Chain A
């Protein structure tokens, strides 16, 4: 480095006409000072933030342990009082989650503790960071938004999958030929809605996202409406025709329906 600076100064001496006296040692000293000051500032910032980081991890660890303990206790207590059996709804109708109610309560309590630990840790870090440095805090709110957006995304994906399956099974049991298409349409509707909400939450894109979402959502709905409408054109016309004919042949239809139901009885 020293040689390089010496070389540069020699070159400048040879090219420039008026001889300027530059003190090599002074230049190096200034650079060294600048580097030292920069290093000092970064180290000071790190030292100021370190307790906050430490507090974050300590809070998180403590709350994870608390969550595990609470979850274990709840699992034992709920099993002891036969919570699942009390809550069980024979027939499986209505909303039946993929896990047992005891498991859901235990997991929810654990994750509630983890989230609480995260909040406390982040706030401790926030306080430490704000008092330890004069730099503006611009990253933390964004991190909070990102966590919220992540939850939105997970919820959206789960809801999209649930609705897609519900529509698929119902449509297949109703013997609709376009069951899969309908299910995919519902799934993408929810996913597009979720994506728009996530981007809005992250404050990314602004008006562009709103506009794009409106166009995309409207496009999907229009496509579905056209597809179902065109695909079911014959079905609708047959239905209307039979409705007109039914007024004159009501008795005949009733008789044939009853004779059919007499042949096969599921129960």
Chain B
């Protein structure tokens, strides 16, 4: 097993010093490495491809692949800042034209999906190619509730999965992400999450979305919703704070290029009463904290929906958008401790999930509802911009 941090070649089946594409897989388990290599070989039968792998593959390495050793990655769940730094360094060393970064659980990604993402990055006109996954119903709910609508409203991009697992990068995009990654590394935050879509938008780089079908989405080692929501949402809020000068300017959203997939209706309402109960409990106990963050009309609206039965429970899209915007403002103003703030968001998020499950159970397409939520965020963006610039203390 190779664990050293050098990037020298350990196996070379093709005598080449340069390549078109660098494929970098983060933390591929040794027993799955051969399957991933087979998929990569099938995806790129003619291109010259270098694969940076952390472990030495078995004896049957496909002939068209060149394997080099990659530094150890700590990415067990998502690609981290350190992975982007390593990818850029290896890419520069190997003089590649583009980089395909594969997150954990890569073996479930089909060869054609890899090919499409890499092709977009190699085309020269696209700097960041992000996959559009087909997920099972009721999966990726944090993404649907917060990450996608917020990124779309603020950064004017239709990236459905802003915190993507796999990426196709042009070299200049890789350099940009590596420079951000180095900043995090300098602050000893190598495990920090990066937001490539936001970086690309701010840099004015071209972003494209590629349909890749299904994929096993890696789950965090700690499946506790408190940890996941605080980690992901806090990271996005911090990125929004850092890029405030960019997103405050009005921008036109590019037209939709993809058809909304009609997913089969799924019944996930079994958990709705539990989530609504959690929201009601929070509504009666967290008023003291919510009142520091949310304006009175939002609190009143929450009080109104808290008395609804679980079967008919709905959270209006505009109320959800307003809540998230107020939490972004409170995060920026440090109205309360940030850990407390993100903890206080959890019951509200569960209320949104309960509402979403009820909406989809009633026959409305999940994607249609998520699009409606995203449009509500876009419509309410002026409120966020206004309060960001003039953060009146409504509660004092």
Give A contacts to B, CB under 8 Å: 85-100, 162, 165-166, 168-170, 172-173, 175, 177, 179-180, 260-267
For A99, the chain B residues whose CB sits under 8 A away are 334
Q: A169-B340, A170-B343 are in contact. Are A93 and B226 (CB under 8 A)?
A: no
Pick 30 A–B contacts, CB within 8 A, sort by A.
A86-B186, A88-B242, A89-B192, A90-B192, A91-B234, A92-B339, A93-B230, A93-B231, A96-B337, A96-B339, A98-B336, A166-B340, A168-B285, A172-B285, A172-B286, A173-B226, A173-B346, A175-B278, A175-B281, A179-B285, A263-B268, A264-B271, A265-B138, A265-B139, A265-B217, A266-B228, A266-B229, A267-B140, A267-B143, A267-B220
Q: Write the B155-185 contact mask toward A (1 if CB under 8 angstroms, else 0).
A: 0000000000000000000000000000110
For A85, the chain B residues whose CB sits under 8 A away are 183, 242
Q: Tell me which of B139, B141, B230, B270 contacts A91 (CB under 8 A).
A: B230
Give B contacts to A, CB under 8 Å: 136, 138-143, 183-184, 186-187, 189, 192-193, 217, 219-220, 223, 225-226, 228-232, 234-235, 237-239, 242, 266, 268, 270-271, 277-278, 281-282, 285-286, 288-289, 331, 334-344, 346-347, 353, 357
Q: Check if A90 sits within 8 Å of B234, measured CB to CB.
A: yes
Q: How far is the CA of A88 from the CA of B331 in the complex (A)?
A: 13
Q: Check if A266 sits within 8 Å of B225, measured CB to CB.
A: yes
Q: Tell me which of A94, A166, A169, A267 contacts B286 (CB under 8 A).
A: A169
Q: Check if B281 sits within 8 Å of A90, measured CB to CB.
A: no
Residue of B nearest to A265 (CB): B139
Q: Check if B193 sits within 8 Å of A180, measured CB to CB.
A: no
Q: Check if B238 sits within 8 Å of A98, measured CB to CB.
A: no
Q: Check if B235 sits within 8 Å of A90, measured CB to CB.
A: yes
Q: Tell me which of B226, B331, B337, B353 contacts A264 (CB under 8 A).
A: B353
Q: Check if B344 sits within 8 Å of A169, measured CB to CB.
A: yes
For A265, the chain B residues whose CB sits under 8 A away are 136, 138-141, 217, 219
Q: Check if A90 sits within 8 Å of B189, measured CB to CB.
A: yes
Q: How far is the CA of A95 from the CA of B192 in the complex (A)?
A: 16
Q: How far is the CA of A94 from the CA of B357 in the complex (A)?
A: 32
Q: A169-B286, A170-B343, A265-B219 are in contact. Are A89 and B141 (CB under 8 A)?
A: no
State the Cβ distance, A109 to closest chain B Cβ, in Å.
19
